[in-house]
Amino acid sequence: MDKLIYLYGIIPANADNAIPPMKGIDEHNPIFTIPFGEIEAVVCNLDEAEYREKELEAKTNNMEWVHEKAFHHHEALMTLYEIFTIIPMKFCTIYSGKDSLQNTIVEHKPKMIELLDVIAGKEEWIMKIYCDNSKLKENVAEDNPTIASKREEIELLSPGRQYLEKRKLDQLIEQETDKEKDSFSSRLHDQFAQFSTDSEVKKNWNKDVTGREEDMCWNSVYMLEQSTVEDFLANVQKAQDKWKSSGWFIEVTGPWPSYHFSKIS
Amino acid sequence: MIQKIFTSPVNLVVKIGEKVQEEVEKEYYDIEHIQKKLIHLQMMYDLDEIEEETYKQSEKDLLMRYELAKKREMEQWNE
């Protein structure tokens, strides 16, 4: 029976380096490579009875299984990334057999070769900006010119009108705080993006997910030449030192394989 | 000598068993390993590979492990 094939990623054909011995996603079959000329597919075999569509669907409904196996997938990719330029595949990329894998690779091979060339010598880094909302709101209430002029207007009104307008002012402070979050983060992003060959802005996570007191106000990813990583990180550190006391927190993680910049449509 | 030959496989099994347990514990309480898992978890969520519920539950478990590991580390320092 034709075994299923789990695809981790695509690497350039490389006679000098062998992939390190690793167990596959089923914790049994080894990870190995299948050559396709200038490129190699990093794969492991899977037992069809355990991983065919219906069984896989049941497994992916199991939260614990998903976490454990997704972690394995990324760990394996990180190990490979330390040695090779790699086009990482999405978690649970499974083919019905070698023929099916071959058809896909043959179809996309020129694009894959080109992509491997583009991402060689580059690193992906993720940046998340968080802010202390109440601190920022205080700063906006004190320093924002729109708020200041509104306050001056209110001073001239009758006490009754003042009460109503002050409530509106609170709403205005909220709006201006949101604007400030976006413009501050956007400015930093533009500054950091100058170091990158490509960047992408991602959706912010809500507090329910981050579990943090601070709001996430920016989430972006950068593709960096290895030679610019040091400068990029030094700039992030400089910005963090400068803005921390104002309630801004910048977090970067990396280097990652090219998860966001090697999509093959 | 003979006794040694006969007992060594049993001892070996015990030793391997202990070693496996040590490794499991080391991984379970290893702060660096937990931090790495937390960072990978973030990436999995960013890539939409896991759902919000999975993320939250896994993060909760890992943070609990992190706290335990920290506590254990402190205890070891105090010993």
pLDDT on residue A144: 81
Domain extent listing, chain A? 4-120, 123-256
Looking at the structure of chain B, the number of domains it has is: 1
Of residues B23 and A105, which shows the higher confidence score? Answer: A105
What confidence tens digit (pLDDT) does each residue in A172-223 have? 888 889 999 999 999 999 999 999 999 999 999 998 888 888 999 999 999 9
Q: What are phi and psi of A132, to 5 degrees?
A: -80, 105
CB pairs under 8 A between A and B: 50
- Cα nearest neighbour of B63 on chain A: A211
- pLDDT tens digits along A9-30: 999 997 677 899 999 999 999 9
Mean pLDDT of chain A: 91
Phi-psi sector, A211: left (phi>0), alpha (psi -120 to 50), beta: left
What's the confidence (pLDDT) of residue A1?
A: 52
Sheet containing A215-225: order of strands: A196-201, A215-225, A122-131, A248-256
Of the pLDDT bands very low, low, confident and very high (cuts 50, 70, 90), residue B13 is: very low
Q: Which of A63, A208, A259 sits opposite B54 (nearest CB)?
A: A63
Tokens of A51: 């991983």
Whole-angstrom distance, CA of residue A171 vs CA of residue A168: 5
On the question of pLDDT at B23 being above 70, the answer is no
Report d(CA A261, CA B66) in Å as an integer. 32
Both tokens assigned to B15: 């030793």
Q: Kindly state the DSSP code that residue A184 receives in the 8-state scheme.
A: H
Q: In this complex, do B45 and A209 lie within 8 Å of one another by their Cβ atoms?
A: yes
- Cβ of A256 and B43 within 8 Å? yes
| pLDDT higher than 90, residue A160 | no
Cβ within 8 Å, pair A91-B52: no
CA distance B17 to B14: 5
Q: What is the pLDDT of residues A115-142, one digit of tens each?
A: 999 999 999 999 999 999 999 988 888 8
Pseudo-torsion of CA A144, A145, A149, A150, nearest 10°? -40
Q: What percent of chain A has pLDDT over 70?
A: 98
Q: Using CB atoms, pick whichever of B39, B44, B52 lies closest to residue A209.
A: B52
Structural domain that includes position B54:
2-78
Q: What is the pLDDT averaged over residues A239-262?
A: 92
Task: Give the largest Cα separation in chain A, rounded.
Answer: 86
Q: Is B8 exposed, middle or buried (0-12, 13-18, 19+ CB in 10 A)?
A: exposed
How far apart are alpha carbons B25 and B28 in whole angstroms?
A: 5
Inform me whether the C-beta atom of residue B32 falls under 8 Å from chain A C-beta atoms.
no
